[in-house]
């Protein structure tokens, strides 16, 4: 590993009593740098925290905000747990599938949007809830989806 790759991690490790306590910020930093947590990123985090790649992968795969597979520029997470589901979460997923022309788990051909269904996002009083990357959207409707996607440069699937 090059010296410059150690630097941000070294700084990060000074904030925690034990190396392994830094696993979530370390994964976040690795993902920000590489766009996702591929095998090399997982191996580097494991090496720096004195963990096995299996341990690091287990943590990374538990949290929906970490991406082990390639994703689009914008990851759209729609909550379909019961409270949001009762308020239309499933219909929003259907709307997005139709609008983007992709299935859940897929990315648009231009690499811009990835659609996912997720469990409770911890904002049930504002359902249905959707996250796009780290930004939360509450009380989402198809009309709001249209406005949000336009803001993000959605071009109607014209590529
Ligand atoms: S059920 Fe959707 S945010 Fe909790």
CB 114 within 8 Å of CB 106: yes
| 88, pLDDT greater than 60 | yes
CB-CB neighbours of 87 under 10 Å: 18
Give CATH for domain 3-62.
1.10.10.1590
Compute the average pLDDT of residues 102-122.
96
Give the whole-angstrom CA distance, residue 30 versus residue 60.
11
- For the chain, the C-alpha Rg in angstroms (whole number) is 18
Mutating to test ligand 1, I would choose from 64, 79, 137 the residue with most ligand atoms within 8 A of its C-beta, which is: 79
CB-CB neighbours of 46 under 10 Å: 18
**Tokens 């939360």 belong to which residue?**
136
Phi, psi dihedral angles at 95 (to 5 degrees): -60, -45
pLDDT tens, residue by residue, 23-76? 999 999 999 888 899 999 999 999 999 999 999 999 999 998 899 999 999 999
Phi-psi region of 139 (alpha: psi -120 to 50; beta: other; left: phi over 0): left
Distances (CA, A) of 10 to 18, 36, 139: 12, 21, 41
Q: In what order do the strands lie in the sheet with 135-137?
A: 113-118, 74-79, 130-132, 135-137
Peptide bond into 10 cis (omega under 30): no
Phi-psi region of 37 (alpha: psi -120 to 50; beta: other; left: phi over 0): beta
Domain boundaries of the chain, sorted by first residue: 3-62, 74-151
Compute the average pLDDT of residues 11-32.
91
Mutating to test ligand 1, I would choose from 77, 80, 83, 117 the residue with most ligand atoms within 8 A of its C-beta, which is: 83
Mutating to test ligand 1, I would choose from 84, 126, 138 the residue with most ligand atoms within 8 A of its C-beta, which is: 84
* 74-151 to CATH, choices 3.40.430.10, 1.10.510.10, 3.40.30.10, 3.30.43.10: 3.40.30.10
The more confidently predicted of residues 6 and 47 is: 47
CB-CB neighbours of 44 under 10 Å: 21
Q: What percent of the chain has pLDDT over 70?
A: 94
Residues with CB under 6 A from ligand 1: 79, 81, 83-84, 120-124, 127, 129
| 136 CA from centroid of ligand 1 (Å) | 11
| 3, pLDDT greater than 60 | no
């Amino acid at each position: 590993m090059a010296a410059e790759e150690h630097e941000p991690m070294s700084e990060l490790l000074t904030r925690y009593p034990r190396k392994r306590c830094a696993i979530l910020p370390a994964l976040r930093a690795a993902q920000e740098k590489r766009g996702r947590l591929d095998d090399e990123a997982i191996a580097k985090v494991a090496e720096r925290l004195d963990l096995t790649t299996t341990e690091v992968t287990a943590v990374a795969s538990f949290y929906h905000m970490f991406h082990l597979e390639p994703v689009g520029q914008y990851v759209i997470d729609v909550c379909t747990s019961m409270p949001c589901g009762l308020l239309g979460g499933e219909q929003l997923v259907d709307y997005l599938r139709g609008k983007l022309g992709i299935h859940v788990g897929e990315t648009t051909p231009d690499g811009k949007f990835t659609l996912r269904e997720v469990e409770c996002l911890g904002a049930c009083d504002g359902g249905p809830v959707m996250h796009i990357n780290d930004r939360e959207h509450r009380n989402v409707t198809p009309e709001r989806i249209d406005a949000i996607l336009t803001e993000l440069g959605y071009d109607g699937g014209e590529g």
